[in-house]
Structure 1
Amino acid sequence: MDTSAAGLTFRDATDADVDALVGLIESAYRGESSRAGWTTEADILDGQRTDPEGVLAVVKSPDSRLLTVERDGAVVACCQLEHRGDHAYFGMFAVSPALQGAGLGKVIMTEAERYARDVWGAGEMHMTVISVRDDLIAWYERRGYRRTGRMTPFPYGDERFGVPRRADLQFELLVKPLV
């Protein structure tokens, strides 16, 4: 499987990509299809991960870009980058479950970090991860991110973010220097 940047096309999402991106994000995190990959949240959350309005808001935001990754004309991954002054925020990261575990995520993350550093001049990348996602946090730690212990509450009761299957969910801030 070719995971080199040469086999991938990176571009900004457009309005026309919204439905495909919602489908990709949902398939990577929710429901039975997400179990084909390792990033599933199906054991901790039911319901949706995002919706067309949420994805479109990122596409339209002047301080964000929704990096869309294609291989052979098909959308295979995406991530949100948001310019926040001296740092950038990384979110909405999804890789097609059938392609997870082959190095594609590392390639995309490297490109996102390069963009934030070289184009926006960001000194750090920030992200939030559900704190009970030990496997996912360990993956980010292997890529230079560090846990900060700074938590924000999960939006219980707001089904736009899913329906929690447990009562202890919160987000932890992870940070990586980009210099």
Structure 2
Amino acid sequence: MKSTGDDPPPLAAIAIRPWLDTDSAAELTELLHRAYAHLAAMGLRFWATHQSAEVTEKRIASGECFVAVADGVICGTILFRDASRTNGSPWYDRSDVASFGQFAVEPELQSQGLGRRLIADVEDRAAASGARELALDTAEPAVHLVEWYTRLGYRFIERTQWQHTNYRSVVLSKTLVGRQGD
């Protein structure tokens, strides 16, 4: 959904659906690069700032990928991992914690509610999977992201250092009590 001068589609015109085999990993990778460009400009080396289409495909295979689509173009994404696929830190290693990552929204659509829709869908999916908690990690220096997730009900759990990043991460989590899967 590269800028064409046209107005972005209204939120109601954007559908969220599972990743299809016919979807383009290259297109999704380009979206990730655009969505994470401001974080790269901050000097933060998220995977999504530089990953190849092959890495995108491997990450998709590690969970359940959902995409937001407007007029046949992917404009958002989120990757859900159930508790059996969530690991790597003491909190992530718990049997009742699911997670999400590879989360992105087209820059021109950010701050319009699409990210919240994607997260709400994954929260419902996590609850339906039997998870009691849904977690994520993000760069500790990306204070704006930590604050945004906190406003969505996520709380600080722990800090961790991933080998593939140049920053310390914070793991945030939200209790799913009272959601669909309860």
Q: Could you state the TM-score of these two structures normalised by the residue count of structure 1?
A: 0.78
| 2:16 corresponds to | 9
1:11, CA displacement in angstroms?
1.8
List alignment gaps of at least 5 residues for structure 2: 1-8, 85-95, 178-182
| 2:52 corresponds to | 51
Q: Could you state the TM-score of these two structures normalised by the residue count of structure 2?
A: 0.77
List alignment gaps of at least 5 residues for structure 1: 35-39
Judged with a 3 Å threshold, the aligned counterparts in structure 2 of structure 1 residues 49 and 15 are, in CA distance, closer, same or farther, namely farther
> For the Cα contact (< 8 Å) 1:13–1:68, is it kept in 2?
no
| Correspondence 1:23 to 2:25 | no
- Which residue identity lines up with residue 93 of structure 1 in the other structure? F
| 2:118 corresponds to | 108
Judged with a 3 Å threshold, the aligned counterparts in structure 2 of structure 1 residues 123 and 73 are, in CA distance, closer, same or farther, namely same
Judged with a 3 Å threshold, the aligned counterparts in structure 2 of structure 1 residues 28 and 60 are, in CA distance, closer, same or farther, namely same
| Correspondence 1:141 to 2:150 | yes
> For the Cα contact (< 8 Å) 2:18–2:64, is it kept in 1?
no
Structure number with the higher strand fraction is 1
> For the Cα contact (< 8 Å) 1:82–1:89, is it kept in 2?
yes
Equivalences, count = 156
- Residue of 92, 98, 108 corresponding to 2:108: 98
| 2:65 corresponds to | 66
CA distance in 2, matches of 1:124, 1:130: 20
> For the Cα contact (< 8 Å) 1:126–1:173, is it kept in 2?
yes
1:154, CA displacement in angstroms?
4.1
